[in-house]
């Protein structure tokens, strides 16, 4: 049976579209945004939406009468209108596959780049400044440091395993994880306890109304003097103004961010101009390998839906929809 999947992502080049098509079931069709054409026109003919980081609003759902399921290629679904999905009995599923390993590797990259002043050192060489000894007083090893993970889900565990191989001590805070789930690492009973002890704080939680600006002026002051902050999760977890203050007054030694409150950021954002900050453009999961794994898993889930089989990784708010008998394609179209 042939199905049409609309890839809701205006930023992706054709090379990315081709990687996606290579993972599609035979006979399925991928449609992609056309420059200057409103989404509503292309949504009208799709059976499934595959989305990256764009918002799916109620008007998008209304413009897609054949739509039966939304598959997010990642794990952050706060920009999808779940109320509109429920009104149409449209399940929304996530794709944690492919994300965890890539984000974990990028997290380690950011820790090491911050501790070794990689950007400053490389830029210095290119500009004729050989800082062989100048950086030594402020460069550090990951070995024997305490890494504090805020969130111990799939990504947190992948980070923990890799950092442990470097000889780091791992502590974590995650009230949703069983105290016996990760016996190899030290569980902290509160965020405050973790912040006071960690040399490195790395964020691995979604954004919710409760943890918006989880890292703020108060929690930053709980961190050890000279600690560093790593964020590969979501920009809105961090109060950027408070972070700038903690970095400029010397309380924190540095920060490395793959996500920001505003993306792309305004060029005037002070974080972009601090020497002790590394910023990357939301690429923690942005490898070809990760995309291939993601698409393989995403289409496997869409195929399950088309065959009336149980779905995996449905968002908790709509999990009951995954248990309903799925209508056949001809019913959907008619």
**What residues form DSSP beta bridges with 314?**
93
- Full-prediction pTM beyond 0.75? yes
Scan for tokens 């490898």, then name that residue. 287
φ/ψ (deg, to 5) at 114:
-70, -45
The pLDDT tens digits of the residues spanning 201-225 come to 999 999 999 999 999 999 999 999 9
Annotated active-site residue 263? The verdict is yes
330: pLDDT confidence band, cut at 50, 70 and 90? very low
**263, 273, 275, 288: the active-site residue:** 263
What does the alpha-carbon distance between residue 187 and residue 193 come to, in Å, rounded to a whole number? 10
Q: What is the pLDDT of residues 42-67, one digit of tens each?
A: 999 999 999 998 999 999 999 999 99
Assigned CATH topology for domain 4-97+287-333: Rossmann fold (3.40.50)
> Which of 174, 168, 183, 170 lies closest to 150 in space, CA to CA?
174
Only one residue has tokens 């995954």, namely 322
pLDDT digits (tens, 9 = 90+) for 257-266: 999 999 999 9
- Buried b / exposed e over 52-61, threshold 16 CB at 10 Å, is bebebeeebb
Could you tell me what percent of the chain has a pLDDT over 70? 96
As a whole number, mean pLDDT of residues 187-192 equals: 97
Report strand pairing: 228-231 vs 169-173.
unpaired
> b/e map of 153-189 (b: 16 or more CB within 10 Å)?
bbbbbbbbebbeeeebbbbbbbeebeeeebeebebbe
- Intrachain domains 4-97+287-333 and 99-279 with the same fold: yes
Q: Report the Cα–Cα distance between both ends of the chain, in Å, rounded.
A: 15
Known catalytic residue: 282?
A: yes
Taking CA atoms, 33 is separated from 5, 74, 315, in Å, by 11, 19, 25
In the set 157, 204, 234, 293, the catalytic residue is 234
**Residue closest to 162 by CA, chosen among 222, 92, 110, 91:** 110
Helix (H) or strand (E) holding 69: strand 69-72
pLDDT category, 324, cuts 50, 70, 90?
low
Q: Is 234 a catalytic residue?
A: yes
Which residue out of 282, 304, 319, 329 is catalytically annotated? 282
The confidence band for 331, taking pLDDT boundaries of 50, 70 and 90, is: very low
The CATH number corresponding to 99-279 among 3.40.50.720, 3.90.1170.50, 3.40.50.11540, 3.30.465.10 equals 3.40.50.720
Q: Where along the chain do its domains lie? A: 4-97+287-333, 99-279
Asked if residue 271 has pLDDT above 70, the reply is yes
**Stretch (H or E) spanning 296:** helix 288-306
């Amino acid at each position: 049976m042939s199905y049409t999947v609309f890839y809701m992502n205006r930023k992706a080049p054709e090379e990315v579209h081709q990687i996606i098509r290579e993972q599609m079931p035979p006979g399925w069709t991928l449609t992609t945004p056309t420059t200057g054409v409103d989404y509503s026109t292309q949504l009208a003919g799709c059976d499934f939406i595959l989305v990256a980081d764009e918002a799916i609003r109620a008007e998008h759902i209304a413009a897609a009468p054949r739509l039966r399921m939304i598959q997010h290629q990642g794990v952050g679904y706060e920009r999808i209108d779940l109320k509109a999905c429920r009104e149409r009995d449209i399940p929304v599923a996530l794709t944690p596959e492919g994300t965890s390993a890539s984000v974990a590797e990028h997290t380690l990259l950011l820790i090491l780049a911050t501790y070794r002043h990689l950007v400053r050192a490389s830029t210095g060489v290119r500009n004729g400044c050989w800082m062989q000894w100048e950086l030594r007083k402020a460069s550090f090893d990951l070995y024997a440091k305490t890494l504090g993970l805020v969130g111990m889900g799939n990504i947190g565990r992948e980070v923990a395993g890799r950092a442990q191989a470097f000889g780091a001590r791992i502590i974590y805070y995650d009230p949703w994880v069983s105290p016996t789930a990760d016996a190899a690492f030290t569980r902290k009973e509160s965020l405050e306890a973790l912040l006071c002890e960690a040399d490195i704080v790395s964020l691995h939680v979604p954004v919710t109304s409760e943890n918006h600006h989880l890292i703020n002026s108060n929690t930053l002051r709980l961190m050890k003097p000279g600690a560093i902050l790593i964020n590969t999760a979501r920009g809105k977890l961090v109060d950027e103004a408070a972070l700038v203050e903690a970095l400029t007054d010397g309380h924190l030694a540095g920060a490395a961010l793959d996500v920001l409150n505003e993306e792309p950021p305004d060029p005037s954002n002070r974080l972009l101009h601090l020497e002790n900050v590394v910023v990357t453009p939301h690429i923690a999961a942005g490898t070809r390998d990760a995309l291939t794994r993601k698409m393989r898993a995403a289409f496997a889930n869409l195929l399950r839906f088309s065959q009336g089989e149980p779905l995996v990784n449905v968002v908790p708010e709509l999990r009951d929809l995954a248990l309903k008998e799925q209508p056949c394609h001809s019913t959907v179209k008619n």
